[in-house]
Amino acid sequence: MADTDTDIQPAELPLSRYKVLDLSIARAGPVAVRLLADWGADVTRVDPPPAQDRGSVTGRRRGSDEQNLHRNKRSLCLDLKSPRGAEVLRQLIARSDVVVENFRADVKERLGLTYAQLQRINPRVILASISGFGQDGPYSDRPGVDQIVQGMCGLSSVTGEPGRGPVRVGIAISDTTAGMFLGQGILLALLHREHTGQGQWVHTSLIESMLNKLDFQGARYTVDGEVARQQGNAHPTLAPMGTYRARDGMVNIAATTARMWAGFCEALDARSLLADARYQEAASRLAHRAQLDADIDEITSRFDTAELVARLNPAGVPCGPIYDIGQAFEDAQVKHLAMTRPARHPVLGDIELLRSPINLSAVPHPPRFHLAGPDPGEQSDALLQELGYDDGAIAAMRAEGAVA
């Protein structure tokens, strides 16, 4: 059920008492931080000064992708390699509950960002790290990006049509999955600190996250020794479940249980299929799936998509249209769920961004994001003033390039 537009302030959100220092780049780390920022955490994002900024893989900060990643954060441009920049960083660490980073191990050491180094500054701090392949091991120094990990975790091998080669999933699934798992790990570490007073190092990687995400396909190998293969739009182990022809396009249908199968046949006047000996039992339906799918196509192609949806769902048979992304956001249920919220940007105006999918009965979603994605360094002066620097000190740091 969609929440009402209650005027919730950041200070009223569940994570408002926590300060988060976001040192991450690319996508996975910012996804983890976004989870915290959306639920009220006070996030300071450290961006490199313009002279050191080699560009973000997600595009310019005012683009849709970066706005969606970095809303509800404040930005400080800081040269971490300069003595004054390192001093500011230490002060930021001292006041932070969580520090999020995805640097290589040697870079962490050089910048003073290992967990042991952070503990000396702030014993209660939680260091949250994300990497491509883990913090140690033979691949720990390798660069890891989404597509490489999709291939190495086995996901590409089970995606796509049989015999047509591996296929990349159409979203940055390993980046976003690792980011979500790191966000969960941070919350676990905060809960642990509530009981013990201790900070800790929480970390995950793209490869660990995606091996976990394989779920039943992974367990088919670890438990049964079975290596899953591509099945296209068909379910790997259940039938009928897949994509079928409608008179006006394609439709997804799942009729895998005995009750669903009977409901499917009755709703579409296909009782001959129900009586077919090959389709009486689930195992037999799976064994004869190619012929079953052809027989179902012959039936479903007599109906428009809307009619299939209207007939099958009331019969207890899951059925849905296949949308493009624009159609998905315009769907009546998605509109009801209000999956977007506006953010006011000083240049772009009101922009619609995707809200958190988590719904809390005690804390409705705010009707708008309290901050749009900031330009790099947009809040540098304000953040430095919060640390106790006066105008003269800030001007001096700007003059020497430590701050921008």
Convert the pLDDT of each residue in 301-334 to its tens digit. 999 999 999 999 999 999 999 999 999 999 999 9
For 31-69, the pLDDT digits (tens) are 999 999 999 999 999 999 987 666 665 668 899 999 999
Q: Given the residues 175, 269, 293, 331, select the one marked as catalytic.
A: 175
Paired sense of beta strands 42-47 and 73-77, if any: parallel
CA within 13 Å, CB half, 145: 6
The pLDDT score that the predictor gives to residue 60 is: 80
**What is the chain's mean pLDDT, rounded?**
95
Q: Do 143 and 132 touch, CB atoms closer than 8 A?
A: yes
Question: 80-90: per-residue pLDDT in tens?
Answer: 999 999 999 99
175 assigned to active site: yes
The pLDDT of residue 7: 76
**CA–CA gap between residue 16 and residue 24 (Å, rounded):** 21
Rounded to whole angstroms, the Cα distance separating 252 from 265 reads: 16
| pLDDT reading at 230 higher than 60 | yes
Per-residue pLDDT, 58: 60
Cα 15-16-19 angle, rounded to 5 deg: 90
Q: What is the pLDDT of residue 67?
A: 96
pLDDT 10s digits, 101-135? 999 999 999 999 999 999 999 999 999 999 999 99
* pLDDT computed for residue 59 by the predictor: 60
Domains of the chain as residue ranges with CATH: 10-214+339-399 (3.40.50.10540), 241-322 (3.30.1540.10)
Distance CA 308, CA 327 (A): 18
- Is the pLDDT score of 21 beyond 90? yes
pLDDT level of residue 8 (50, 70, 90 thresholds):
confident
Asked if residue 1 has pLDDT above 80, the reply is: no
Q: Position of tokens 């895998």? A: 256
Tell me the C-alpha to C-alpha distance, in Å, between residue 332 and each of 2, 3, 327, 335, 338. 12, 16, 10, 5, 10
The string of pLDDT tens digits covering residues 281-294 is 999 999 999 999 99
Higher pLDDT, 273 or 60: 273
pLDDT in tens, 214-225: 999 999 999 999
Q: How many CB atoms neighbour CB 38 within 10 A?
A: 24
Residues 6+ apart with CB under 8 A from 56: 25, 26, 66
The predicted pLDDT at position 50 comes to 84
pLDDT tens, residue by residue, 139-184: 999 999 999 999 999 999 999 999 999 999 999 999 999 999 999 9
Query: Residue 288: is it exposed, middle or buried by C-beta count within 10 angstroms (0-12/13-18/19+)?
Result: middle
pLDDT of residue 54: 62
- pTM to 2 decimal places: 0.94
The predicted structure's pLDDT at residue 61: 86
pLDDT for residue 2 is more than 80: no
128: nearest Cα among 103, 109, 164, 162: 103
- Measured N-to-C along each axis, helices 28-38 and 173-196 cross at an angle, to the nearest 10 degrees, of 50
